[in-house]
Amino acid sequence: MDSRKPTVTAAERAQAQGVSLRRIGRLFTAHRFPLAVVTAIIVVSSVLSLASPFLLREVIDVALPRADLPLLAWLVAGMVAVAAVTSALGVVQTWISTTVGQRVMHRLRTDVFAHLQRQSVGFFTRTRTGEVQSRITNDIGGMQSVVTSTATSVAANLTTVVATAVAMVALSWQLALVSLVVLPPAIHLTRRVAGMRRRITAERQRELADLNVTVEEALSISGVQLSKTLGTGPALVDRFTRSSERLIDLELRAELAGRWRMASMAVVFAAIPAVIYLSAGLPFTAGTLSIGTLVAFTGLQSGLFRPLMALLNVGVSLTSSLALFARIFEYLDLPVEVADPEHPADVTHVRGHLRLADVTFRYPDGAGPAVAGLSLDVPAGTSLALVGETGSGKSTVAGLIARLHDPDAGRVTVDGVDVRDLRLADLAGIVGVVSQETYLLHTTVRENLRYARPDATDAEIEAAARAAQIHELITGLPEGYDTVVGSRGHRFSGGEKQRVAIARTLLRDPRILILDEATSALDTETERAVQRAFDTVSRGRTTITIAHRLSTVRHADQIVVLDHGRVLESGTHESLVEVGGRYAALAA
């Protein structure tokens, strides 16, 4: 048993039970007109197709016995015309219904992706990346057949069933009664099968998510390097194999759930024509049915079986797909912890005066506050250095300034405006962050830089690269700025990636620059190169530097020593060394 296999939580069970068909139906609200056209086409097609058995009855009972060749020709032409018209209408119906279904799928995918983009960093630290990817790809992909064909399939088959039943009653109500007596047990059986498949579908999607997590963790560049250096490749293969084997079992169970029950119903439906022939010879019907009526009726009855079984199977598919809808709606219903304000402040000329006033913040799973009653004042254009031991709250302060989190108490302001009153996009243009973990996209250097500002010109990109002291290195590459950086930028060294990240941040020209442990993993020579870039780009900006190496912060206008989210000491490098406190001990 894999200990990492996710379990079903109470929240997931409640969500699965709470999905309503009304909410699913609202996905199609914007497409009412094309669906109405499809429904009209379905009704016309169903009614037209019912003409064939009546034409057949006339052929057998009238045209052939009388040898009426003109009538026979008209009846045969009518049968061909009905087939041609219904086929053409079927093509139009498929085109419209598929278009509607694909648009609904597109809207669902983009809504989930956009809503996840609005989630806080905390959500992604709590959630496995593979799980998020699985919801968007596997779950929404699994819903495609239901979304694209269910509405039209229900309408088409229901109309056909009703129209066929009416025609059967019109031909012979006695035989119709015999044919339709199997409906109640068929509906009951379908409901039981649907419940079975819904439970299996939910379990299968969780297993798919776990498989997706394994792939994402093991086959990323970092995961591959880790597995090779630790020799965990065989264990990962074994984990993947076990998960894949569980999927085989779940797929088989999903396909075979209720198959024997539904197969028995198929046998019953197939036996109905024999019962009809037997009924036609019984005393109470003998002599009352013509051969043509009997043939036409059995044709209708055979035609009833296909749409009726399809309608029952649609019910099974729709019920089992509720597990998929539950997983998608669970993400769509996630509250947005860090959202844009309803009435955002208009910020045009930003000087960069940063203040934290009595700020307190606690992580949801934290034992105590990461920041407690913290107050800082950083005038525009000055530099602040935050130092302290690991876990002292330095990176949390950076996250609060960039509004990756919102404080539980207190305020973070820029030029006197609370950052919660600014649009997130506006704040991202004011506050630029360069962290230790530089993430580069698997594309060219130029596109990595333009990611920060899509409208940036080539000249602006090169100017930012020069300021970050990386332009010469880029132009020395075989394809210059069009060189592909590789997965997560692994073509570059740590210091080179840092300088690309600096250039990317500079393209937004932020008034406040946060350097979060940006040189802690670099060697001394590379650190000097990156530090020179920092010195260049920091001029005229409000700069917050977070560092373990005090050599990078000794020239800051003010240095604050944090301890468990509180200010322990503050001052300049010289004054703090002279005091002989915690900073002096760190500097020793």
Query: Is 154 in the same domain as 277?
Result: yes
The answer to whether residue 2 is domain-embedded is no
- Strand segments (E) across 431-501: 431-435
Question: In sequence order, what DSSP letters do the residues of 291-352 get, joined into one string?
Answer: HHHHHHHHHHHHHHHHHHHHHHHHHHHHHHHHHHHHHHHHHHT---SS---SS-----S---
CATH number of the CATH domain containing 473: 3.40.50.300
Question: In sequence order, what DSSP letters do the residues of 569-587 get, joined into one string?
Answer: EEE-HHHHHHHTSHHHHHH
The answer to whether residue 69 is domain-embedded is yes
- CA 153 to CA 413: how far, in whole Å? 57
- CA 494 to CA 498: how far, in whole Å? 6
Domain span at residue 322 reads 10-332
Q: What is the pLDDT of residue 505?
A: 85
Q: What is the pLDDT of residue 417?
A: 92
Query: Is 359 in the same domain as 220?
Result: no
Query: Is 15 in the same domain as 109?
Result: yes
Query: Is 422 in the same domain as 284?
Result: no
The answer to whether residue 37 is domain-embedded is yes
Query: Is 318 in the same domain as 385?
Result: no
Query: Is 399 in the same domain as 328?
Result: no
The answer to whether residue 340 is domain-embedded is no
- Strand segments (E) across 407-456: 409-414, 417-418, 431-435
Query: Is 67 in the same domain as 148?
Result: yes
CA distance readout (Å), 90 to 149, 165, 167, 303: 13, 21, 21, 17
> What's the gap between Cα 353 and its chain centre?
39
Question: Which residues of the chain have a pLDDT value below 70?
Answer: 1-19, 129, 145, 148-156, 178-198, 216-233, 254-275, 277-290, 299, 301-306, 308-317, 319-320, 366, 488-489, 518-527, 529-530, 588
The answer to whether residue 339 is domain-embedded is no
> What's the gap between Cα 458 and its chain centre?
34
Q: What is the pLDDT of residue 17?
A: 46
Q: Which two tokens stand for residue 290?
A: 């013509």
Domain count along the chain: 2
Q: What is the pLDDT of residue 375?
A: 93
CATH number of the CATH domain containing 159: 1.20.1560.10
Query: Is 275 in the same domain as 397?
Result: no
Q: Could you read off the pLDDT of 30-75 as tens digits, one per residue? A: 888 888 888 888 778 877 877 777 787 788 878 888 888 888 888 8
Q: 372, 380, 374: which is closest to 416 by C-alpha?
A: 380
- Going by their DSSP bridges, the two strands 558-563 and 383-387 should be labelled as parallel
Query: Is 138 in the same domain as 275?
Result: yes
Bridge partners of 514, per DSSP, are 433, 544
**CB-CB contact of 191 with 265 (8 Å):** no
What's the CA angle centered on 294, arms 290 and 297, to 5 degrees?
135
Q: What is the pLDDT of residue 485?
A: 83
